[in-house]
């Protein structure tokens, strides 16, 4: 049986991070956009890049400092100003009248004066690029190589799990990372050992970029030296005839025991130290290992050695050696050059070691004196009760002498290093400063900013600034030197209120001056929150529930995510969630809808005048059109005072397009045979019949309108261009002679208004583009943004023409084949004369084109292309990179821009027969169009995006931190779409779908940062198990908490208890069971287990009962473990709960209310680790056995069958009467259950020793397979085939495929995948949620499609450039010494195959021709498999 494994969601969170100057934007300030107001005169600037990674996901962010958004007070001012009578606003330079009406004139400050105060700024993340790599990242650093001297940019060094180092740099030509080199050590003798998969290679880089180091197993380090100057290169050249163009010299492996010191074994951590002439490494290791039970024999076993690397002579002298460090040392931190030495973090103390081996230790609890003989600093009386645990903490310096320790719960503690003369005398820890996210990496990225990356929740950017603060005379000078800035009113995600709760700030008081002279001041560090990158962390469990978007039920994936205080639920939907606000059948609109903001003239005393233009004005009318009754009907509708809709005008004929014109005072209305100008009330002002002399021209099929220009495209591919004359209020034809012959043919075209200033700043010209503003028309348009016309000729040439002078500024022929980067060819206008016989439409013709801004807070222009074959491509518009060779032909003007492809997707298109003409065919025709929109779904959030109508309706959006995403809309077809603010809401849309016309809005609180729309439900605690109970539509979840643990002797006395306040009880896991309503996510009821009992598994099982008519009912079964300490064996219990309906309390909820009722508790001798049910029976594990039990008289469980299986059962799954048992040691067992007589029969088992975390049935058609996942993330597919001789009469399961998924998953759910044929038994689709937050699926693939895709996979492995030079085939291969060659043939790698969709069409044809198939066939196969669920 064959399958495809693909990622639905990438890993979530941040495990590694580094800051560097990677992209050229970090070298100069970003250009100020044209539309900046006076407030925005401070240009945004990029401080640096932050590159983050989790598992195989690498993301590059820019950290931008930009003007703060307008505060509420400024909004109020603006609101107040808008209430001033129109026409009486103060003009610049005029004094402002007092608004209270007393008539005083405020001369003190005129409007025109500019303040020279500092602009308040905010610092934000912006995603630049992201990649899913064919390797697991284990470290990242920035380095400077010789080329950095020329371009001032850093290079990125990334290390991978299989002992590889890749050197990457940024290329402006492709606007992406390119690989400089890759260095592999996987064949080194150190990696040949069997336990090497358990090892994690750590990457470190010398502060002066002289070399990079990668830790290897068996106490070795791989060293990669970089050249720093030409002189070094010349020396190397004489030694070995090296090529000059590589930035590094040959790498080598340093075997520490052999080359440095023979006692170096069991390396804990190593760092490079700054300020030395040669690269210098401090290494922390433990020659003799010990643990708390052996401290009487061995304690203080950790040692520190500092040695230098002489890369030329390969000599490694030791500078410093320190012994007698505590056995629980965790990590090293290098101090700055002004201080020297290192800081060592242990579980219970912080130790500073200088270069003369002097040690200064700060205990943070009462344990260090009990487990170590290291001399400790005395604890001050006020700190006697301080009791912190440093396991899982992360540490970073914020300046030379202050470091922040962030504990594993996110609490930030500052530690000051106190210097007495030249030596460090003591370390002082202040009180807790703030609560931030749970850290996995902390990086100081600029002098002021600290990045705290989290793998279990949002990652945050903190600002730590030094401020001078006055203190009172009697205030001690060693008071805390760090405070939290309280007035931080940043608009962050909802989760951040929980992360940044009440900070325990130490705000030193300031006294009054009472004539005693100057105040004392001191320097304190002020901490504030800048921004956060959203993440939800690991997926512990998941279930599908039924959610309601308005009235529409949709499947929703509920995942238990995060840990500790960041725990909760994350809800995922496949389509962008929208809900219907009202149905609007009266307006029709099956052929198009346009909601227009037309300014109605106001009459006062009989004189009509226009209201001044306001960008924020709401729409005033809707124009809609239908194809029947023939020849079509158009309606203009507006809103009545009661918010109902009323039709003002009906016009016979079909509308092609409509838009506000003449500064929104008129409607420009394009019909199939005429262009009309309408008054705001729908009466006709002007009509231009589309005639050639007296002959009617072919029908107009499309148009683009951008005040004051109109472009029409006719059915014979000819075009017409019109311009509006403001002084006459009429339109006229515009001369198109610069564009070539007037009979030229064009496929499609659109206008673009340069809202970001990119086109204006990139325009290079030798002729003036705008003449003197003589006419009223020119004067009105002088203030508007630059406009361009984009046209596509039949041969695939795209041209950009600058308006109003019609100058060709950009031309490219690369668009026809969807090349990855489109650059200017500098060609003159192409010729596209009519052909005889007329040209027929081609499959690869460009059917739709649009250039529109897409983004969140700073939208960028994107070029959207749709080919007739169903291929959609989206390009980002960027300033052009450096030209390597000057163009041979030059034009008078050219745009220095390039288009970089960032998304490509293929749709399956069903077209009506071409020869079908007439009314029926016209009504059947599906309009596929790009419609731009701007929406404000929530206060302070505005998205600019594009909606794609047709039979694959999609939203195309981009967020600041998630990049560009394409979401299905959830409708089978959308005929017409328009953003609509007629009902005074900037978040409404009008949509004509298969259900008719309706007014929609987005469901609030959904995040649009990833491939699936998601919503976070923070709960302040994490959950280990979750299920959906279908009969009541409620969620049952088991939370995982921590409680103090105490051991008791036979007499009930505590065996041990803390004797001092800074030594605490140990903690153990405990659980509660919660019944949650998905409507408001409130807990209806719960059950608390004992403080040493935790839930392993919960399941919804159907058991026999006498309380229902059917004789059976669904119950909640729970399996638990009772932890009794290390001296006593663990026990367990099985619980049966029933969900019962009770009378609701009207004060809490007027709706239905439910409670959990405990029906049965059954104690077991061992932990109940997994639980599930056959119909009418409960299956549970206990230790090495599994039991099948019946529920007797609603109060007790009666055993009917049992079977001895492995060592520790991890998973149980049932299908009809078949049972799969996954075991932590003995792999997987396949069992059948029979009722008469009761019996569990062993059918087959796997004889290998594999730790199975999850086992599932997987079927399609007549075939059944068994899929297992282990703790390394390896997927194995087994087959039960008694007819195969290798199965020993069916006793052994046959291992058919091994595939390295690279991330362990505990949560898996099986859903039905229905194909177009819709068989009686649907195919199974397996969805898995991993511990790194990724969501993947396994989909069955038919034999013939599998063979094609497998050949394609081989081609893609060999023929395309992979990021960082990684090998996708090796990434998925599983080492198995029992077979001669890897069993990798049965599962396809979706993350590799997805690259095919984004290849240029020429490459797609070339790759498929090599494997003897068609490009369209492969895309058809891929489209059929590529959906989330």
**pLDDT tens for each residue of 723-747:** 999 888 899 998 888 888 878 899 9
User: Is the pLDDT confidence value at 109 over 50?
Assistant: no
d(CA 96, CA 77): 13
Handedness of CA 645, 651, 657, 659 (dihedral sign): negative
45 neighbors 31 (Cβ within 8 angstroms)? no
Per-residue model confidence (pLDDT) at position 482: 59
1381 token code pair: 């060659």
1105-1153 per-position pLDDT tens digit: 888 888 899 999 999 999 998 888 999 999 999 999 999 888 877 788 9
Identify the bridge partners of residue 468 per DSSP, sorted by sequence position: 523
For the CA atoms of 565, 390, 161, 1272, the dihedral, rounded to the nearest 10 degrees, stands at -60
Alpha-helical segments (H) within 302-388: 368-371
Pairing between strand 2-9 and 1387-1389? Answer: parallel
User: Is the pLDDT confidence value at 855 over 80?
Assistant: yes
d(CA 994, CA 985): 24
With b meaning 16 or more CB within 10 Å and e meaning fewer, what string describes 3-33? Answer: bbbbbbbbbbbbbbbbbbbbbbbbeeeeeee
Report field, pTM of the whole predicted structure over 0.85: yes
Peptide bond just before 1127 cis, omega within 30 deg: no
For the CA atoms of 1093, 1095, 1099, 1103, the dihedral, rounded to the nearest 10 degrees, stands at 0
d(CA 1355, CA 1403): 11
Q: What is the DSSP secondary structure assignment for residue 612, as one 8-state letter?
A: P
Judged on CB neighbours under 10 Å (0-12, 13-18, 19+), 644 is: exposed
Task: List, edge to edge, every strand of the sheet that includes 1014-1018.
Answer: 539-549, 552-561, 568-572, 1014-1018
With b meaning 16 or more CB within 10 Å and e meaning fewer, what string describes 155-183? Answer: bbbbbbbbbbbbbbbbebeebbbebbebb
Helix, strand, coil percentages for the chain (3-state, nearest 5): 10, 45, 45
1347-1385 per-position pLDDT tens digit: 999 999 999 999 999 999 999 999 999 988 788 887 888
464 neighbors 526 (Cβ within 8 angstroms)? yes
Across 403-408, average pLDDT: 95
Region of 1394 on the Ramachandran plot (φ > 0 left; ψ -120 to 50 alpha; else beta)? alpha
Per-residue model confidence (pLDDT) at position 836: 75
528-580 per-position pLDDT tens digit: 999 999 999 999 999 999 999 888 999 999 999 999 999 999 999 999 999 99
256 neighbors 283 (Cβ within 8 angstroms)? yes
1096 token code pair: 């392993």
190 token code pair: 């150190």
User: Confidence class of residue 914 from pLDDT cuts 50, 70 and 90?
Assistant: low
Which of 1122, 1126, 1133, 1218 is CA-nearest to residue 1168?
1133
Per-residue model confidence (pLDDT) at position 1236: 86
1405 token code pair: 């044809």
Three-state DSSP at 1393 gives helix
Pairing between strand 252-255 and 220-225? Answer: antiparallel
Which of 707, 717, 791 is CA-nearest to residue 753?
707
Per-residue model confidence (pLDDT) at position 609: 54
d(CA 714, CA 716): 5
User: Is the pLDDT confidence value at 1237 over 50?
Assistant: yes
Which of 1146, 1149, 1329, 1347 is CA-nearest to residue 1253?
1329
Region of 568 on the Ramachandran plot (φ > 0 left; ψ -120 to 50 alpha; else beta)? left
Identify the bridge partners of residue 552 per DSSP, sorted by sequence position: 549
User: Confidence class of residue 973 from pLDDT cuts 50, 70 and 90?
Assistant: very high
Q: What is the mean pLDDT of the chain?
A: 86
User: Confidence class of residue 974 from pLDDT cuts 50, 70 and 90?
Assistant: very high
Per-residue model confidence (pLDDT) at position 106: 41
Beta-strand ranges (E) seen in 246-348 are: 252-255, 267-273, 280-286, 302-308, 318-325, 329-334, 342-346
For the CA atoms of 61, 66, 69, 74, the dihedral, rounded to the nearest 10 degrees, stands at 180
Lowest mean pLDDT among 483-492, 746-755, 1388-1397: 483-492
807 neighbors 769 (Cβ within 8 angstroms)? yes
Per-residue model confidence (pLDDT) at position 885: 65
| Tokens 């208004």 sit on residue | 753
Instruction: Please report how many Cα atoms fall inside a 13 Å half-sphere around the Cα of residue 51, on the Cβ side.
Output: 27
541 or 380, which is more confident?
541
- Phi, psi at residue 1152, to the nearest 5°? -70, 150
User: Confidence class of residue 911 from pLDDT cuts 50, 70 and 90?
Assistant: confident
Which of 571, 470, 478, 574 is CA-nearest to residue 522?
470
User: Is the pLDDT confidence value at 1197 over 80?
Assistant: yes
692-714 per-position pLDDT tens digit: 888 888 999 999 999 889 999 99
User: Confidence class of residue 1250 from pLDDT cuts 50, 70 and 90?
Assistant: very high
Cα-to-chain-centroid distance, residue 1331 = 16
For the CA atoms of 248, 167, 449, 136, the dihedral, rounded to the nearest 10 degrees, stands at -140
User: Confidence class of residue 195 from pLDDT cuts 50, 70 and 90?
Assistant: low
190 or 494, which is more confident?
190
H/E segment holding residue 1288:
none
Across 390-406, average pLDDT: 93
Per-residue model confidence (pLDDT) at position 943: 94
Whole-angstrom CA distances from 108 to 78, 95, 97, 113, 182 are 20, 9, 11, 11, 67
1134 token code pair: 């099985």
Per-residue model confidence (pLDDT) at position 233: 61
118 or 1333, which is more confident?
1333
Whole-angstrom CA distances from 1086 to 655, 1077, 1137, 1145, 1155 are 60, 12, 11, 17, 8
Per-residue model confidence (pLDDT) at position 1050: 84
574 neighbors 494 (Cβ within 8 angstroms)? no
Per-residue model confidence (pLDDT) at position 101: 42
d(CA 1011, CA 356): 54
Across 444-449, average pLDDT: 91
Neighbour count for residue 1153 (Cβ, 10 Å): 16
70 neighbors 77 (Cβ within 8 angstroms)? no
Three-state DSSP at 146 gives coil
308-337 per-position pLDDT tens digit: 998 888 889 999 999 999 999 999 999 999
Per-residue model confidence (pLDDT) at position 91: 43
Across 154-177, average pLDDT: 93
Pairing between strand 520-533 and 482-484? Answer: parallel
857-881 per-position pLDDT tens digit: 899 999 999 999 999 999 999 998 7
User: Is the pLDDT confidence value at 98 over 50?
Assistant: no
Whole-angstrom CA distances from 666 to 659, 680, 729, 753 are 9, 6, 9, 19
d(CA 94, CA 679): 36
User: Confidence class of residue 486 from pLDDT cuts 50, 70 and 90?
Assistant: very low
- Phi, psi at residue 1410, to the nearest 5°? -65, -25
d(CA 1084, CA 73): 41
pLDDT above 70 as % of the chain: 86
Across 1312-1331, average pLDDT: 84
d(CA 592, CA 925): 13
Neighbour count for residue 654 (Cβ, 10 Å): 22
Whole-angstrom CA distances from 420 to 339, 427, 1126 are 12, 11, 47
Handedness of CA 1342, 1344, 1345, 1346 (dihedral sign): positive
d(CA 1366, CA 1373): 13
Which of 955, 953, 1001, 957 is CA-nearest to residue 976?
953
745-776 per-position pLDDT tens digit: 999 999 999 988 888 888 887 776 554 444 44
Per-residue model confidence (pLDDT) at position 458: 95
Across 259-285, average pLDDT: 94
1308 neighbors 1338 (Cβ within 8 angstroms)? no
DSSP string, 212-257: EEEEETTTEEEEEEB--SHHHHHHHHHHS---TT-SBPPPEEEEHH
961 token code pair: 């931190």
Lowest mean pLDDT among 71-80, 256-265, 413-422, 668-677: 71-80
Q: How many helices (H) and strands (E) does the chain have?
A: 14, 96
């Amino acid at each position: 049986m064959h399958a495809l494994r693909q990622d639905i969601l990438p890993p979530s969170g941040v495990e590694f991070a580094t800051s560097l100057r990677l992209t050229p934007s970090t070298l100069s300030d970003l250009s100020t956009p044209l539309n900046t107001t006076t407030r925005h005169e401070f240009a945004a600037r990029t401080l640096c890049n932050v590159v983050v990674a989790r598992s195989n996901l690498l993301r590059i962010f820019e950290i931008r400092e930009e003007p703060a958004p307008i505060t509420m007070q400024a909004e109020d001012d603006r609101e107040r100003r808008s209430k001033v009578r129109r026409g009486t606003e103060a003009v610049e330079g005029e004094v402002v009248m007092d608004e209270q009406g007393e008539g005083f004139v405020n001369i003190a400050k005129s409007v025109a004066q500019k303040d020279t105060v500092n602009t308040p700024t905010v610092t934000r993340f912006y995603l630049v690029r992201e990649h899913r790599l064919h390797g697991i990242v284990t470290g990242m650093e920035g380095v400077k190589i010789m080329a950095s001297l020329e371009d001032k940019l850093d290079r990125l060094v990334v290390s991978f799990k299989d002992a590889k180092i890749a050197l990457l740099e940024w290329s402006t030509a492709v606007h992406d990372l390119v690989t400089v080199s890759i260095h592999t050590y996987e064949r080194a003798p150190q990696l040949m050992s069997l336990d090497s998969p358990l090892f994690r290679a750590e990457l470190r880089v010398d502060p002066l970029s002289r070399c990079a180091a990668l830790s290897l197993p068996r106490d070795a380090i791989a060293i990669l030296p970089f050249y720093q100057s030409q002189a070094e290169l010349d020396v190397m050249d004489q030694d070995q005839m090296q090529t000059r163009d590589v930035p590094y010299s040959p790498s080598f492996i340093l075997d520490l025991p052999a080359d440095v010191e023979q006692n170096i074994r069991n390396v804990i951590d190593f760092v490079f130290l700054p300020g030395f002439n040669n690269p210098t490494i401090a290494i922390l290791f433990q020659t003799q290992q010990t643990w708390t039970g052996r401290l009487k024999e061995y304690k203080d076993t950790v040692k520190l050695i500092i040695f230098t690397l002489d890369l030329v002579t390969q000599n490694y002298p030791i500078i410093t050696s320190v012994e007698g460090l505590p056995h629980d040392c965790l990590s090293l931190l290098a101090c700055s050059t002004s201080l020297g030495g290192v800081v060592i973090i242990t579980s219970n103390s912080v130790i500073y070691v200088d270069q003369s081996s002097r040690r200064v230790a700060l205990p943070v609890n009462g344990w260090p004196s009990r487990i170590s003989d290291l001399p400790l600093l005395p604890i001050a009386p006020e700190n006697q009760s301080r009791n912190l645990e440093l396991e899982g903490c992360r540490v970073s310096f914020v300046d030379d002498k202050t470091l922040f320790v962030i504990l594993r719960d996110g609490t930030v503690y500052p530690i000051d290093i106190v210097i007495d003369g030249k030596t460090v005398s003591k370390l002082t820890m202040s009180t807790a400063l703030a609560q931030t996210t749970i850290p996995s990496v902390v990086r100081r990225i600029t002098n002021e900013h600290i990045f705290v990356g989290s793998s279990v929740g949002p990652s945050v950017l903190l600002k730590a600034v030094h401020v001078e603060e006055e203190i009172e005379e009697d205030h001690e000078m060693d008071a805390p030197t760090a405070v939290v800035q309280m007035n931080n009113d940043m608009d962050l995600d909802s989760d951040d209120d929980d992360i940044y709760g009440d900070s325990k700030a130490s705000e030193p008081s300031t006294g009054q001056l009472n004539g005693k002279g100057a105040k004392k001041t001191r320097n304190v560090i002020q901490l504030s929150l800048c921004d956060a990158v959203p993440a939800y962390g690991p997926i512990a469990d998941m279930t599908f529930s039924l959610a309601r978007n308005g009235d529409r039920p949709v499947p929703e994936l509920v995942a238990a995510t995060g840990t500790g205080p960041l725990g909760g639920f994350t809800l995922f939907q496949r389509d962008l969630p929208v809900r219907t606000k009202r149905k609007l059948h009266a307006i029709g609109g099956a052929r198009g809808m346009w909601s227009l903001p037309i300014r109605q003239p106001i009459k006062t005393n009989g004189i009509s005048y226009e209201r001044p233009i306001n960008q924020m004005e709401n729409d005033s009318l809707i124009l809609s059109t239908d194809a029947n009754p023939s020849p079509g009907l158009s309606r203009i509708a507006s809103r009545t005072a009661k918010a109902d809709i009323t039709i003002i005008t009906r016009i016979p004929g079909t509308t092609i397009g409509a838009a506000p014109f003449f500064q929104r005072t008129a409607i420009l209305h394009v019909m199939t045979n005429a262009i009309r100008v309408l008054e705001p009330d729908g009466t006709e002002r002007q009509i231009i019949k589309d005639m050639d002399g007296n002959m009617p021209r072919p029908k107009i099929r499309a148009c683009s309108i951008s005040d004051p220009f109109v472009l029409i495209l006719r059915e014979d591919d000819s075009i017409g261009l019109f311009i509006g004359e403001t002084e006459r209020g009429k339109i006229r034809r515009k001369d198109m002679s610069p564009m070539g012959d007037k009979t030229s043919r064009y496929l499609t075209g659109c206008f673009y208004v340069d809202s970001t200033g990119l086109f204006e700043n990139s325009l290079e010209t030798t002729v003036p583009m705008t003449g003197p503003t003589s006419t009223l028309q020119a004067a009105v348009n002088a203030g508007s943004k630059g406009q361009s016309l984009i046209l596509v000729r039949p041969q695939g040439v795209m041209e950009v023409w600058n308006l109003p002078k019609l100058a060709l500024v950009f031309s490219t022929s690369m668009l026809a084949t969807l090349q990855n980067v489109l650059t200017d060819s500098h060609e003159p206008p192409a010729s596209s004369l009519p052909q005889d016989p007329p040209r027929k439409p081609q499959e690869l013709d460009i059917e739709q084109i649009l250039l529109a801004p897409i983004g969140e807070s700073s939208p960028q222009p994107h070029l959207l292309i749709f080919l007739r074959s169903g291929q959609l491509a989206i390009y980002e518009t960027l300033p052009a990179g450096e030209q390597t060779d000057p163009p041979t032909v030059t034009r008078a003007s050219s745009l220095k821009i390039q288009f970089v492809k960032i998304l490509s997707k293929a749709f399956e298109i069903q077209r009506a027969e071409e020869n079908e003409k007439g009314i029926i065919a016209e009504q059947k025709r599906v309009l596929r169009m790009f419609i731009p929109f701007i929406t404000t779904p929530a206060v302070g959030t505005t998205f600019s995006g594009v909606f794609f109508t047709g039979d694959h309706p999609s939203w195309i959006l981009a967020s600041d931190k998630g990049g560009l995403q394409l979401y299905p809309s959830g409708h089978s077809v959308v005929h017409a779409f328009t953003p609509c603010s007629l009902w005074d809401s900037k978040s409404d849309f009008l949509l004509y779908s298969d259900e008719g016309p309706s007014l929609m809005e987005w469901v609030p609180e959904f995040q649009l940062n990833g491939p699936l729309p998601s919503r976070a439900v923070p709960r302040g605690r994490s959950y280990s198990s979750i299920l959906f109970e279908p009969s009541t539509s409620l969620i049952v979840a088991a939370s995982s908490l921590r409680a103090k643990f105490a051991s008791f002797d036979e007499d009930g006395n505590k065996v041990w208890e803390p004797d001092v306040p800074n030594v605490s009880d140990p903690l153990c896991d405990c659980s509660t069971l919660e019944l949650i309503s998905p409507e408001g996510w409130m807990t209806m009821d719960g059950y608390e287990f004992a403080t040493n009992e935790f839930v392993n598994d919960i399941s919804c099982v159907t058991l026999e009962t006498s309380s229902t008519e059917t004789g059976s009912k669904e119950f909640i079964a729970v399996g638990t473990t009772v932890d009794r300490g290390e001296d006593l064996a663990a026990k367990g219990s099985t619980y049966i709960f029933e969900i019962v309906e009770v009378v609701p309390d009207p004060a809490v909820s007027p709706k239905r209310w439910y409670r959990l009722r405990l029906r049965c508790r059954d104690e077991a001798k061992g932990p109940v680790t997994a639980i599930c049910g056959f119909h009418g029976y409960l299956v549970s594990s206990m230790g090495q056995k599994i039991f099948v039990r019946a529920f007797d008289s609603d109060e007790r469980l009666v055993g009917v069958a049992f079977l001895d299986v492995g060592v520790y059962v991890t998973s149980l799954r049932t299908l009809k009467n078949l049972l799969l048992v996954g075991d932590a040691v003995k792999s997987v067992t396949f069992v059948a259950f029979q009722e008469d007589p009761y019996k569990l029969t062993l059918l087959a088992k796997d004889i290998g020793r594999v730790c199975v975390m999850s086992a599932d049935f997987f079927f399609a058609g007549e075939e059944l397979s068994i899929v297992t996942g282990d703790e390394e993330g390896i997927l194995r597919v087994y087959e039960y085939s008694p007819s195969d001789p290798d199965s020993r009469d069916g006793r052994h399961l046959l291992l058919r495929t091994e595939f390295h998924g690279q991330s362990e998953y505990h949560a898996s759910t099986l859903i039905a995948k229905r194909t177009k044929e819709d068989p009686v038994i649907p195919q199974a689709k397996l969805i898995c949620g991993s511990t790194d937050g990724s969501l993947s699926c396994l989909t069955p693939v038919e034999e013939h499609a599998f063979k094609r895709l497998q050949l394609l996979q081989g081609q893609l492995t060999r023929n395309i450039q992979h990021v960082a030079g990684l090998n996708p085939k090796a990434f998925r291969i599983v080492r198995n010494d029992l077979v001669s060659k890897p069993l990798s043939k049965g599962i396809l790698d979706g993350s590799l195959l997805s690259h095919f969709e984004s290849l240029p069409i020429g490459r797609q044809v070339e790759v498929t021709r090599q494997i003897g198939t068609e490009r369209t066939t492969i895309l058809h196969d891929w489209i059929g498999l590529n959906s989330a669920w």
